[in-house]
Structure 1
Amino acid sequence: MSIDRPSVERASPPTADGWTSLARGIRVALVGCWLAFAVLVAVVGARPSTFGDLESAVVAGHVDEVQVDGGLETEGEGFATVRVTWREGLFARTTEVLQARPLAAARRDDVVPGFTAVLDSTVGERLRELAPGIKVHEADESTTNGPAGWTLPGWSTWPSVLLVVLTALWVLASPPPWHATRWAWIWLASSGPLGLAAYLLLSGPLPGLGRRLAAPQWLSGGWAFLLAIGLRALLGW
C-alpha cells in the first residue's frame, strides 16, 4: 500500500517576461518622476528674459511687483550684478542687469556683454520712473541655475540630484538596454534633458507598444561621450 505525500509547490524564479515587465514599470516610473520635476521647474522656476521686456510689462500694467538680488550700496561705486525676478501671467521671469557707478566706466572696461541692461541707478529707481506704485522687494531665498537658462529655488537641487542618482543606478542595474551600451546611455543621459528623454523612451520597451526583439547596441560609450559633449555645446547646457 502506497501513501500519497502532499505535494509542496516551490516558488518559481522570475521569468524573463516578468523581469522585462518590472523593468518596463521602473522606467515608466522614472519617466513620471522626471515629468513631475519638469512641471516643478515650470511652476517654481523663472525663465530667462530681458530688462526691456520687464520695462514694457511695467508700462503696460502687467507687472506691479518685482524681486531684486544684489546691487551696490547707496553711495557705492563700481560694478554689481543684479538679478531681477517678476511674475507675468502664469510663469515667472528673470534677468540680470549690471549696476555701474559711474556709468561710463562700464562701457570703458567692456563689462557690458552678458547683461540685458546697464544702470547707474537701482532697479527700483528705474522702474518707479515708469510706474511710481511698483513694489520692489529684496529676494529672500537662494537660487540655482537650471536647464536652458532657467533659475530655480535653491532647494530644487535636492530632488534633481536624487533623480539623477536613481536614473544612473537604474542604467547600471537594468536589463541590457536597446540601441546603446550602458555607458553610452549614461553619457547621453548626463548630457541634458534631450539625452535623458532619449534613454527613458528608447532604451527598452514601453507599456502598450507590444513586444518585439531587443534592438542591437550600435552606439558605444566612446562615441556617446563625444556626442554628449557636442549636445552640451550645441544647446548650452
Structure 2
Amino acid sequence: MSAPMLSSGPTARRPVLCAVLLVGWLLWAVSAWWASPRPVDATWLDRDLAAGRVVGWERAQGWIDDGVFLGGLAQARTDRQGTMIVWTTPAGQTRAVDLAADGTGPGSPLDRYTARLTAIRAPGGDPGAPARVLSVAVPGLAVAVGLAWLVALVSGAPPRHGTRWFWFWLGLLPPFGLGVLAWLYVECWRPPTGRVDRHSGLLGLAWGFAVGLVLSVLTIGLRSALGGNVVPGG
C-alpha cells in the first residue's frame, strides 16, 4: 500500500495531498500496530488474568491472514482443540500464547488456563468495544489511503522519479505500507534536482520484492529480539 504522485492541478495542491496522505498513513500505521495480534509468553496471560484485563478469549490454531496484504489484521483460526489461547484486553489489544510445547492432556498448562478463563467467561463472545472499533478502523484507513494513492497515481502528473508502474509496485511494499513514506520523501520533500529518472515498472517490481523480503526477515529478527509485544504480528 502506498501513495504516489500529485494531480496535474496547481502546484499549491501538492503539499495538501502530501499532508493528507501522511496523516492518513500515520493513523493507519499506529492503529495497525496497536491492534495487531501479539505473540507473547504465558507470563502475559498470568498478568492479564490477575489484573482482570481479559475481555474475551478463545482457543485457536494458527492465523487467518488473508486481509493483511490489504492493510487488515490477522484473525485467529478458532479451534476448540487448538493449542493457542488468544485473548483481548480492555484497550483493544490482542495477545496470544501457544502452549503446544507444554502438552495438551489433563493437568497441562493449556488445560489449566482454559479452566481459569472459562471460570471468568465463556470462550468467544464480545471482544470488547475498542477491539471491535479497531477491527473496522484499521482496514478502513488502509482502504482510504490506498484509494487516495490510486487517484493520485492515475490522474496526477507523472512522477519525477520512476513511472507510475514503478511507484505502483513499490507502493505495495510491506510491512506497514512503507512505500507511502518512500514516495512522500522522494516526490514531496526531497529537493528537486532537475533530473528526471524514468525507472520502469519492472524495476519497481524487482525492488518491491527484494526490499519486501529483507524487511520481512528484519521484522522476524526484531520480533525475536524485542518480543511480540513490541513487534506484533500473527
The TM-score bracket by the shorter chain reads: 0.5 to 0.7
Name the CA distance, whole Å, in 2 between partners of 1:126 and 1:140.
18
1:84 is aligned with what amino acid?
A: V
What is the aligned counterpart of 1:232 among 199, 208, 212?
212
Name the CA distance, whole Å, in 2 between partners of 1:83 and 1:30.
37
Name the CA distance, whole Å, in 2 between partners of 1:155 and 1:69.
22
Cα separation, partners in 2 of 1:181 and 1:81, compared to 1, 3 Å:
farther
Aligned residue pairs, count: 184
Shift of residue 62, structure 1, vs aligned partner? 4.5
Name the CA distance, whole Å, in 2 between partners of 1:18 and 1:161.
24
Name the CA distance, whole Å, in 2 between partners of 1:55 and 1:141.
16
Cα separation, partners in 2 of 1:29 and 1:96, compared to 1, 3 Å:
same
Runs of 4+ with deviation above 4 angstroms: 134-137
More helix by share: 2
Name the CA distance, whole Å, in 2 between partners of 1:91 and 1:181.
40
Name the CA distance, whole Å, in 2 between partners of 1:65 and 1:27.
40
Cα separation, partners in 2 of 1:53 and 1:200, compared to 1, 3 Å:
farther
Cα separation, partners in 2 of 1:163 and 1:187, compared to 1, 3 Å:
same
| Larger Rg computed on CA atoms | 1
TM-score normalised by structure 2 residue count: 0.59
1:182 is aligned with what amino acid?
A: R
Shift of residue 67, structure 1, vs aligned partner? 2.0
Secondary structure at the residue paired with 1:28? helix
TM-score normalised by structure 1 residue count: 0.58
What is the aligned counterpart of 2:27 among 36, 59, 71?
36
1:188 is aligned with what amino acid?
A: L
Secondary structure at the residue paired with 2:181? helix
2:40 is aligned with what amino acid?
A: T
Name the CA distance, whole Å, in 2 between partners of 1:227 and 1:220.
11
Question: Residues 81-96 of structure 1 correspond to what in structure 2 (within 5 A)?
Answer: 82-87=84-89, 92-95=93-96
Q: Share of identical aligned residues, percent? A: 19
What is the aligned counterpart of 2:178 among 185, 194, 205?
194
Question: Residues 1-237 of structure 1 correspond to what in structure 2 (within 5 A)?
Answer: 19-42=10-33, 45-58=35-48, 61-62=50-51, 64-70=53-59, 79-80=81-82, 82-87=84-89, 92-95=93-96, 97=98, 103=104, 120-121=110-111, 123-125=113-115, 138-140=124-126, 153-154=135-136, 156-192=138-174, 193-205=177-189, 212-217=192-197, 219-236=199-216
- RMSD between superposed Cα atoms in Å: 4.1
Residues 107-133 of structure 1: CA distance to partner in whole angstroms, max 9, x if unpaired? xxxxxxxxxxx96527432568xxx8x
Secondary structure at the residue paired with 1:84? strand
Q: Is the 8 A contact 1:177 1:204 kept in 2?
A: no
Name the CA distance, whole Å, in 1 between partners of 2:160 and 2:85.
44
